[in-house]
Structure 1
Amino acid sequence: MAGTFTTRTINITTGSTETLHDLTNACSAFLREVAHGRNGLLNVFTPHATSGLAVIETGAGSDNDLLAALRDFLPADDRWQGRHGSPDRSSAHMLPALVPPHATLPVVDGELELGTSQSVVLVSTDRDNPERHVRLSFLS
């Protein structure tokens, strides 16, 4: 039986602050529509130079901890050689080196196979770009 591939882009408004946006429900809804109980892989990708994707626990403070750690690792100051827009934006261009712009996740019986406390999140530290795109692709 030949495999199938289905893909869709969703749009996310992240606003003008550093943020984590939970994509877990959007991923699950996409799989309910396209996976039909099959096993496969869900690839999540964001085509932006200043955002990434993480699989972490949310709601218990870990989301704020991740943003605080990124502020420590990538301070928004003038140390960066790259010049991209506003002076504090250059550090956001380093984000994908620490939080990659992609994640590939197992799908079992049509459902996202995450741990009990895991969520899929879009990470954005770029306050100059409030609109993001995320591509969801299912391969079975």
Structure 2
Amino acid sequence: MAGTFTTRTITITTSSTETLHDLTNACSAFLREAAHGHNGLLNIFTRHATSGLAVIETGAGSDDDLLAALRDVLPTDDRSQDHPRSPGHSIARMLPALVPPHATLPVVEGELELGASQSVVLVNTDRDNPERQVRLSFLS
């Protein structure tokens, strides 16, 4: 049986602050349409220099802990080589080195294979651009 490849780009509206946006439901909805109960891989990719993807537990304080840790490692003060109109941006562009812009996850019988407390999240540190595109691709 030949493999199939299906892809779609979704637009996520975040906020004007550093944030995590849960993509788990969007991934599951995409797989209901694309996987048809088959096994395969879901690749998730964001093409933005100031956002990344993570698989973490949400809602138990991990969201805030991750953002606080990123603020410690990537401070938005005068240490960066920023353009004067966008303070903190050059440091924020280092985010994908710590939180990659992609994730590849197993799909079993059409369902995303995550642990009971795991979620797929978009990590966005750009306060100036509240709209992000995320590409979802299923390969079976």
Give TM class, smaller chain: over 0.9
Name the counterpart of 2:86: 86
Query: What residue ranges of structure 1 are gaps of 5+ in the alignment?
Result: none
Name the counterpart of 2:11: 11
Indicate conservation of the 8 Å contact 1:52/1:96, yes or no: yes
Going from structure 1 to structure 2, the CA distance change for 1:47 and 1:21 (only over 3 Å counts) comes to: same
Give SS of 1:79's match: coil
Indicate conservation of the 8 Å contact 1:10/1:133, yes or no: yes
Matched letter for residue 49 of structure 2: A
Matched letter for residue 98 of structure 2: L
Name the counterpart of 2:124: 124
Deviation per CA, 1:89-129, whole angstroms, max 9, x where unpaired?
22110100000000000000000000110000000011011
User: Equivalents in 2 of 1:131, 1:56: separation in Å?
Assistant: 22
Matches within 5 A, 1:1-140: 1-81=1-81, 83=83, 86-140=86-140
Indicate conservation of the 8 Å contact 2:56/2:118, yes or no: yes
CA positional deviation for 1:55: 0.1
More displaced stretch, 24-33 vs 73-82: 73-82
CA RMSD of aligned residues (A): 1.1
CA positional deviation for 1:71: 0.3
Provide TM-score, normalisation by structure 2: 0.97
Query: What residue ranges of structure 2 are gaps of 5+ in the alignment?
Result: none
Provide TM-score, normalisation by structure 1: 0.97
CA positional deviation for 1:77: 1.1
Percent of aligned pairs with the same residue?
A: 84
User: Equivalents in 2 of 1:83, 1:90: separation in Å?
Assistant: 8
User: Equivalents in 2 of 1:94, 1:31: separation in Å?
Assistant: 31
Matched letter for residue 116 of structure 2: T
